[in-house]
Amino acid sequence: MIHQVGVCAITRSPDEEIYVVALPEGRDAGRWLAQRVINALRARLPLQKIAAEVVVLVGMQGESGCFGSSPEAEAFVRRLIPDLDSYRWQTRELDW
């Protein structure tokens, strides 16, 4: 099923990006759904970026959950949540 989500890329270091996917508020989300979203996004990335870290937020501020492909990426994005509105977000359609 196709879902519209917000996606942005956050630079962690000069050679590393973390992709943040914002699901609409009100979704029941857990690690299982987050892993499906991570896989759906990675399927759309260029091959050289397929190993990039991905963090899934439920709601733009992660009020209902923040789930990362690694604990480090999740902690990094949690610290940036107050500033996420200033990043360039794109609407993408993902199939999960």
What is the full per-residue pLDDT of the chain (96 aa) written as tens digits? Answer: 999 999 999 999 988 999 999 998 766 778 999 999 999 999 999 999 999 999 999 876 666 789 999 999 999 999 999 999 999 999 999 999
Per-residue pLDDT at 28: 72
Q: How far is CA 91 from CA 3, 14, 20, 70, 71, in A?
A: 10, 25, 12, 24, 25
What's the predicted TM-score (pTM) here? 0.90
Do residues 68 and 77 make contact, with C-beta atoms less than 8 angstroms apart?
A: yes
User: Apex CA 4: angle with CA 11 and CA 40, to 5°?
Assistant: 65
Q: Determine the structural domain holding residue 61 and report its residue range.
A: 2-95
| Total domains, the chain | 1
The DSSP code sequence of 4-35 is EEEEEEEEEETTEEEEEEEEPTT----HHHHH
